A and B are shown apart, each in its own frame.
Chain A
Amino acid sequence: MPAFTDHINTALRRVPTWAVYIVFLLPVPYFLYLAQTGALGAEPIKALEHRLGEVALQLLIAGLCVTPLRGYFGINLMKFRRAFGVLAFTYVALHLLVWVVLDMSLLWSQMWADVWKRPYITIGMVGFVALLPLAITSNNYSVRKLGAGAWRKLHKVTYLAVLLGGVHYLWLVKGIQLEPILYMAAILALLGLRVAKRSKRVAQTG
């Protein structure tokens, strides 16, 4: 097994970060193409909004996978973690943009009411706001300015944001549906690993 993971890690080291950005941004023009050609169905706005939201959630979950992948399987994706985070934020922002401009037709008063009255929208918006400081500080200058410890602490807000994203999805669907439950299960499992590790560490040092 070690030889196998070494191969993977060597290959991963050769992948430049910018390539990850490009590959993971490709779905955006692809979704727009699908929407324009009718491939997203009779109501392309909702479809586009949902696709973007789903990719955002997937990228947030991918970010949560980095540490356990290294810890349990020896696969090192640490180099790409910040890219996953920045990409996830980009998709959340696009998801929000589609909602504001295309879905809600810039009906500000209706949107304002929705943010306060509809819990799933409130939760989604809180998740977006929680990601804002993380997106703003996703650069080496901020790491230096804040100091590595404080920066890392701040970026633990990701845990909250991904949880809110999962609840947002779970809450917005009608009735009991499978997909949001699977996403939520993955999120809880990945957060659970961290809680377990932390309590183990506390037990050892305490």
Chain B
Amino acid sequence: MAMRWKNTLTDKDVTDEATFINRRQLMGSAAAGLGLGSIGATPGLATGEDLVPNSFEDITSYNNYYEFGTGKDDPARYAGALTTEPWSVKIDGLVDKPGDYAFDDIMAAMTIEERIYRFRCVEAWSMVVPWNGFELADLLDMAGVQSGAKYVAFETAMRPDEMPGLRYPVLDWPYVEGLRLDEALHPLTMMATGIYGRDIPNQNGAPLRLVVPWKYGYKSIKSIVRVTLTDTQPPTSWNKANAREYGFYSNVNPEVDHPRWSQATERVIGGGLFSKRIPTLMMNGYADEVSELYAGMDLTKDI
């Protein structure tokens, strides 16, 4: 059932390693000379659909993964300790074939494709990431979703020995997230297992993570060990920590103000010291694809 969604971006939009290195050098020398970081390609600069993916270095060095610490560079520094082989995902709840699914068996059954998505963090920064992975719908098909299922709950690995951030009660561990079943089955919703054609690095949520491009980044839960189909709305970590600020839906919406950050604009990572803010797009630019999911809902209330 793969290939349901056609990427408007193609392989040639993915900066290859050589150009990427050139670009860094170009940007570096430009920045050093005049303080202008915009020579060559600035990541994410949107002119129509001509999105420029961020460099592999940007994507893998600037992360929020609080299990490894709250600093943006903590995940890159500490996530190496995470054992990702072997890995299995427990799929349970309202499914026909509950059980522990070995990561390798999942990969063998899936069709891996590339998806270049915008990634928008609730902290008002964004990136463009060339993910590799498969549609979540295909994984759910594998387990057989029962008719009573209405929601999908996800859980991140919780390993105190490997995750130094778990020592601090920043959140109620383990990290949990959830989607409504129709959101989970939407062809844009994917499980990412790679970036730039390489295995996804630990700091980005190895060996498999959710990617829901029209929602704020924290919905895209990392290093998933459990997927549960339920008939009730599952709890989600940030909502438990601060319900006023983080709703269950958490759709990117420049018109709904967050108490902490204005969501009207965002800064694309990778533009250097003089990178300008750009307007944030409704549903992160995926409104045409996903608006029907929320027909009849008041998006200013159901945040």
Contact = CB atoms under 8 A, between A and B. Distances in A.
B57 A42 contact: yes
A119 B261 CA distance: 11
B32 interface: yes
A113 interface: yes
Given A43-B125, A110-B264, A35 B273 contact: yes
Contacts, number: 72
A98 to B, nearest CB: 9
Contacts of A48: 273
Interface in B233-269: 241, 257, 259-262, 264-265, 267, 269
B61 A42 contact: yes
Nearest to B58: A42
A110 B35 CA distance: 25
Contacts of B272: 44
Contact of A175 (B171, B265, B275): B171
Decide if the interface of chain A is mainly helix, strand, loop or mixed. helix
B259 A118 contact: yes
Nearest to A117: B257
A43 B170 contact: no
Contacts of A178: 168
Given A41-B62, A42-B57, A110-B265, A176 B170 contact: yes
Interface string A28-40: 0000000110100
B270 interface: yes
Contacts of B159: none
Interface in B62-82: 62, 66, 70, 72-73
Contact of A177 (B62, B170, B257, B265): B170
B277 A41 contact: no
Nearest to B237: A175
Contacts of A36: 31-32, 35, 273
B58 to A, nearest CB: 4
A52 to B, nearest CB: 13
A6 interface: no
A175 B70 contact: yes
B262 A45 contact: no
Interface in B170-185: 170-171
Contact of B168 (A42, A105, A177): A177
A38 B171 CA distance: 30
A99 to B, nearest CB: 12
A203 to B, nearest CB: 40
Nearest to B28: A38
B273 A176 contact: no
A114 B275 contact: no
Contacts of B61: 41-42
B277 A107 contact: yes
A173 interface: yes
Contacts of A105: 265, 276-277
Interface in A72-88: none
Contact of A176 (B31, B54, B169, B262): B169
Given A36-B31, A107-B265, A113-B262, A44 B168 contact: no
Given A45-B273, A173-B70, A174-B170, 18 more contacts: A38-B28, A41-B73, A42-B62, A42-B72, A44-B272, A45-B275, A102-B273, A103-B267, A105-B276, A107-B265, A107-B277, A119-B259, A174-B70, A175-B70, A175-B171, A176-B170, A177-B168, A177-B170
28 contacts: A35-B273, A36-B32, A36-B35, A38-B28, A41-B62, A41-B72, A42-B62, A42-B72, A43-B62, A43-B269, A44-B273, A46-B125, A48-B273, A102-B274, A105-B276, A107-B265, A110-B262, A113-B262, A117-B257, A117-B259, A118-B259, A119-B259, A120-B260, A172-B260, A175-B171, A175-B241, A176-B168, A177-B70
